[in-house]
Chain A
């Protein structure tokens, strides 16, 4: 219970042990693969055969390190590009949606808002197959009726971007919207009384206020896109994203390079999180 209620030492210690066990459970899988990324072995698991950087840099017949594996590097690059584009588009549309729902009143608002929230509860699988279906239908229709062949409507890089964009926008909308709720409408009214147009008010007053939320939402959208699998798997074409590539390797041809990739991901995310945290702390 809270500190001001008397608690027995047994209770306090027991509670702390539970929390410790929980965090160990949390960290276990991540630490394991990070450590094994440096294992001098041809197998992904134990036994430990010594320290080696092979799985990052080697280029032999037996071992292909992460940085020397062109296919793997390509999927990383694909994920990065996809992530950036998805983040860009969904930040724009999500912010517009936040502004729309927060500031405007119109008849179908409730229904539209419900639709905008739906990607949160619709399983990623369903989102994926539905977009695949629509795109294929559209592609077939256009080809049969007009004879044009639009590549992006078949499983491809851009279809992935479109598909991920559809639900990342929802997250952006929620994140920016939360910040927008704290915006004092008086500021907008003041600007309007000083002869600014509504558009200028949004651009010069509201958006700068939302700046940190927008940047945060951009990063979140990027991360969601980067790690997404359930929806992306149905939409990938010939260039897989990293999660898709990892999946097929895990299933069919696993080498410890997977550990190396995981290590890179884990360290990058952890480092950025720490940096972000430290920066926020300094600001306070």
Chain B
């Protein structure tokens, strides 16, 4: 190969600066901070206290477990809801319509979480659109309490995650040649068998990569649980938010942040092992 030219360094240096200053260092700081404790004299000492707090105080790790389980659930739900749509847009309708309909799917992402969650809030309120509609057509007599429940929080999370789930799945399905489906049918497979033995195995890498993105998005989300969830639906990310912006206990907040990162990575690693996927394959 040619010897390293000045162009190389010109390219390397900005990137190195970006990555080191804005990614490596902050996360190291985060890690260090999480091991710090302020003594009564105001000194900072090394301590595992912050982590112990997490494990000892029921509310913290219970909240985390609940958050993690819910996130897995929402991820799964997002897959189930969006797969038929992804299939429809890539395999069933022609290219002239699918472009437009895909565009419609992307618009809520650009609009942003805050506005869409707000929209759900309006819809699900006691005097919101849905309750009004149900009462008008006589299905119910008094408003169903839908807001500030786990239900409303799930809807908000699902709404955001389905959009991010659908794109990797569409791209995986796009590369699945129709002739594979036809060949399977020709060899005697029913539609269900084709789905189970041809379509799903082929698109599994796409599903898994979509699932990872969605899982991390949901578990780290703040807006939807905070605005749509009620008192009982504590979300772990809210804890971090509180530590940093309300109680100013940055040390504990750092520990929690790091735990979030660590534990969700472990969950993803387990999921990858279970579905037999390799990180590199999914990464593409």
**Which residues of A are interface residues toward B (Cβ below 8 A)?**
1-5, 15, 18-19, 22-23, 25-30, 32-33, 36, 43-47, 92-93, 96-97, 99-100, 104-106, 112, 115-127, 129-134, 137, 162, 165-166, 169, 197-199, 202, 223, 226-230, 233-234, 243, 246-247, 250-251, 258-259, 262, 265-266, 269-270, 273-274, 277, 281
Q: How far is the CB of A127 from chain B (nearest CB, A)?
A: 8
- How many A-B contacts at CB < 8 Å in the complex? 232
User: Which residue in B25, B223, B257, B264 is a CB contact (below 8 Å) of A134?
Assistant: B25
The count of residues in chain B whose C-beta lies closer than 8 Å to any C-beta of chain A is 88
| Chain-A contact segment, one of B5-13, B56-64, B200-208 | B5-13
Measured between alpha carbons, how far is A177 from B4 in the docked complex, in Å? 21
User: Which residue in B108, B121, B123, B212 is a CB contact (below 8 Å) of A121?
Assistant: B212
Contact B92 A3 (CB under 8 A): yes
Known contacts A93-B18, A99-B11, A131-B22; can you find 6 more A-B pairs with CB under 8 A?
A22-B84, A130-B257, A131-B26, A133-B254, A230-B222, A246-B115
User: Which residue in B8, B11, B119, B268 is a CB contact (below 8 Å) of A30?
Assistant: B119
The 10 A-B pairs at the shortest CB distance, nearest first, are namely A123-B220, A29-B119, A227-B112, A130-B26, A166-B22, A134-B26, A198-B7, A100-B11, A130-B30, A134-B29
Residue of B nearest to A97 (CB): B15
Q: How far is the CB of A276 from chain B (nearest CB, A)?
A: 8
Contact A133 B33 (CB under 8 A): yes
Contacts of A169 in B (CB 8 A): 18
Contact A233 B245 (CB under 8 A): yes
Contacts of A162 in B (CB 8 A): 22
Q: Which of B26, B30, B159 has the most CB of A within 10 A?
A: B26
Contact A125 B15 (CB under 8 A): no
Please tell me if B27 contacts chain A, counting CB pairs below 8 Å: yes
Measured between alpha carbons, how far is A258 from B121 in the docked complex, in Å? 12
Q: In the complex where A123-B216, A229-B114, A269-B110 touch, is A46 in contact with B129 (Cβ < 8 A)?
A: yes
Contacts of B12 in A (CB 8 A): 100, 104, 106
Please tell me if B120 contacts chain A, counting CB pairs below 8 Å: yes
Contact A250 B118 (CB under 8 A): yes
Please tell me if B219 contacts chain A, counting CB pairs below 8 Å: yes
Contact B23 A22 (CB under 8 A): no
Is chain A's interface secondary structure helix, strand, loop, or mixed overall?
Answer: helix
Measured between alpha carbons, how far is A120 from B91 in the docked complex, in Å? 29
Please tell me if B113 contacts chain A, counting CB pairs below 8 Å: yes
Can you spell out 11 A-B residue pairs with CB atoms less than 8 angstroms apart? A2-B178, A33-B119, A115-B24, A123-B264, A126-B258, A166-B18, A199-B7, A227-B110, A250-B118, A251-B227, A265-B111
Please tell me if B85 contacts chain A, counting CB pairs below 8 Å: yes
| Chain-A contact segment, one of B47-55, B99-107, B270-278 | B99-107
Contact B85 A19 (CB under 8 A): yes
Measured between alpha carbons, how far is A122 from B10 in the docked complex, in Å? 28
Measured between alpha carbons, how far is A99 from B5 in the docked complex, in Å? 14
Q: In the complex where A26-B104, A33-B122 touch, is A96 in contact with B11 (Cβ < 8 A)?
A: yes
Contact B244 A269 (CB under 8 A): no
Measured between alpha carbons, how far is A45 from B217 in the docked complex, in Å? 29
Residue of A nearest to B217 (CB): A123
Contacts of A26 in B (CB 8 A): 104-105, 108, 159
Q: Which of A25, A27, A100, A126 has the most CB of B within 10 A?
A: A126
Interface residues of B in 250-267 (CB under 8 A from A): 250, 253-254, 257-258, 260-261, 264-265
Q: How far is the CB of B218 from chain A (nearest CB, A)?
A: 10
Please tell me if B35 contacts chain A, counting CB pairs below 8 Å: no
Contacts of A259 in B (CB 8 A): 122
Measured between alpha carbons, how far is A162 from B115 in the docked complex, in Å? 24
User: Which residue in A44, A115, A132 is a CB contact (below 8 Å) of B122?
Assistant: A44
Measured between alpha carbons, how far is A93 from B15 in the docked complex, in Å? 7
Contact B132 A46 (CB under 8 A): yes
Contact A198 B123 (CB under 8 A): no
Q: Which of B10, B22, B106 has the most CB of A within 10 A?
A: B22
Please tell me if B38 contacts chain A, counting CB pairs below 8 Å: no
Measured between alpha carbons, how far is A259 from B125 in the docked complex, in Å? 15
Q: In the complex where A45-B128, A133-B30 touch, is A227 in contact with B114 (Cβ < 8 A)?
A: yes
Q: How far is the CB of A253 from chain B (nearest CB, A)?
A: 14
Measured between alpha carbons, how far is A18 from B80 in the docked complex, in Å? 12
